[in-house]
C-alpha cells in the first residue's frame, strides 16, 4: 500500500541527487523542502497547542464538576471543544503527516538506492544501521553513533525548551518523560538505517530552530489573544439531554 509513496520519494530524491550529487545531502534537502511545505500546518499546530494551554484550567473545572459522572463529563468537554473551535489532535498533524515519509524513506534506502548511498563518504552506507556498523567496525561506526545519539538528544530538546521556564511537579514529570523517551529513541534508532536517522535529525533540528525563533513568538501572541477572549467567559457546558418520547401505538 506504500508503493506509490515510495515511488514518489525515490523520484524526488533522484531529482535532487542529480543536482546535489550526494544521497545524504539529497535527504537533507528533501527534509527541508518537506518542513517548508508543512510550515502553515506547523503554525496552525502551534496555535492549537497554545489554545490547549489556555483552555486547560477551564477543562479542569469541567472535569471536577462532573467527576462523578464520566458520561456527562465527556459530553460537557465535547461541547466545550465545539464552542471554542478546538481539536485536541490538531497539534499532532505535522508529525502524523511526516510518519509515512519516514517509513517510505526506509524502503527507498533498503531497496532502491544502489549500495545504500553515502553522505560525502562520512557515512559510507546510508542503509547501514548503527548497530550493524558497530558490530563490524567500531571506528567506522562513529558517524553512525553520532546520528543515533542526535536521534535521542533532538527528541529531548523540544520538551526541555517548552518546560525550562516552568517549575513544579508537572514540569519535572514532563522533563523526566522526555528523558525516558530520548533513551527509548536511541534504542529504536540503533537498528534504523542511517539515512532515516539523518532525515529525522534534520527535521528535528529544523523544529528546534523554529521553536526558538518562530514558534515561541506565535504561541505567546496567540495565548495572549485567547486569554483575553476567555478572561470573563463563563463555562456554559451543561448538557441538555433530550427526553425520549414514547411512540404512539398504531390502532389495530
More confident residue, 15 or 217: 15
Residue 243's pLDDT band, with cuts at 50, 70 and 90, is very low
Is pLDDT at 170 greater than 90 in this prediction?
no
Burial zone of 168 (CB within 10 Å; 0-12 exposed, 13-18 middle, 19+ buried): exposed
Ranking 14-18, 52-56, 184-188 by mean pLDDT, the lowest is 52-56
**What grid cell was written down for 221?**
501572541
What is the predicted pLDDT for the residue at 251?
52
**What grid cell was written down for 81?**
471543544
Please state the rounded mean pLDDT for residues 205-221.
Answer: 76
Is pLDDT at 215 greater than 80 in this prediction?
no
Closest CA relative to residue 98, chosen from 41, 183, 17: 41
Asked whether the beta carbons of 237 and 62 are under 8 A apart, the reply is: yes
Taking the C-alpha atoms of residue 229 and residue 51, their distance in angstroms, rounded to an integer, is 11
Is pLDDT at 93 greater than 80 in this prediction?
no
**What grid cell was written down for 48?**
492549537
Is pLDDT at 187 greater than 90 in this prediction?
yes
The helix (H) or strand (E) run that includes residue 53 is: helix 39-65
More confident residue, 168 or 32: 32
Is pLDDT at 62 greater than 90 in this prediction?
no
pTM for the model: 0.76
Residue 119's pLDDT band, with cuts at 50, 70 and 90, is very high
Asked whether the beta carbons of 48 and 104 are under 8 A apart, the reply is: no
Is pLDDT at 138 greater than 80 in this prediction?
yes
Is pLDDT at 25 greater than 90 in this prediction?
yes
Q: In angstroms, what CA-CA distances link 120 with 20, 94, 202, 226?
A: 11, 30, 16, 48
Q: In angstroms, what CA-CA distances link 171 with 160, 161, 240?
A: 9, 11, 37
Is pLDDT at 169 greater than 90 in this prediction?
no
Residue 59's pLDDT band, with cuts at 50, 70 and 90, is confident
Cβ neighbours for 231, distance < 8 A, ≥ 6 positions apart: none
Please state the rounded mean pLDDT for residues 128-156.
Answer: 92
Amino acid at each position: 500500500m506504500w508503493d506509490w509513496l515510495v515511488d514518489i520519494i525515490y523520484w524526488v530524491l533522484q531529482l535532487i541527487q542529480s543536482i546535489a550529487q550526494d544521497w545524504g545531502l539529497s535527504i537533507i534537502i528533501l527534509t527541508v523542502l518537506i518542513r517548508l511545505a508543512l510550515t502553515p500546518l506547523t503554525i496552525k499546530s502551534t496555535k492549537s497547542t497554545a489554545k490547549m494551554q489556555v483552555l486547560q484550567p477551564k477543562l479542569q473545572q469541567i472535569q471536577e464538576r462532573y467527576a462523578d459522572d464520566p458520561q456527562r463529563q465527556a459530553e460537557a468537554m465535547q461541547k466545550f471543544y465545539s464552542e471554542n473551535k478546538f481539536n485536541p489532535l490538531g497539534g499532532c498533524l505535522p508529525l502524523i503527516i511526516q510518519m509515512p515519509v519516514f517509513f517510505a524513506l526506509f524502503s527507498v534506502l533498503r531497496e532502491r538506492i544502489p549500495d545504500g548511498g553515502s553522505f560525502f563518504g562520512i557515512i559510507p552506507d546510508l542503509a547501514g544501521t548503527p548497530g550493524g556498523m558497530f558490530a563490524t567496525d567500531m571506528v567506522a561506526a562513529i558517524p553512525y553513533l553520532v546520528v543515533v545519539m542526535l536521534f535521542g538528544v533532538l527528541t529531548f530538546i523540544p520538551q526541555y525548551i517548552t518546560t525550562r521556564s516552568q517549575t513544579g511537579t508537572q514540569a519535572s514529570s514532563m522533563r523526566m518523560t522526555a528523558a525516558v523517551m530520548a533513551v527509548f529513541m536511541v534504542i529504536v534508532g540503533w537498528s534504523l538505517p542511517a539515512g532515516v536517522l539523518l532525515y529525522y535529525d534534520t527535521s528535528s533540528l529544523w523544529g528546534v530552530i523554529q521553536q526558538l525563533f518562530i514558534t515561541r513568538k506565535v504561541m505567546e501572541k496567540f495565548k495572549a489573544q485567547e486569554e483575553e477572549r476567555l478572561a470573563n467567559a463563563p463555562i456554559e457546558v451543561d448538557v441538555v439531554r433530550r427526553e425520549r418520547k414514547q411512540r404512539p401505538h398504531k390502532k389495530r
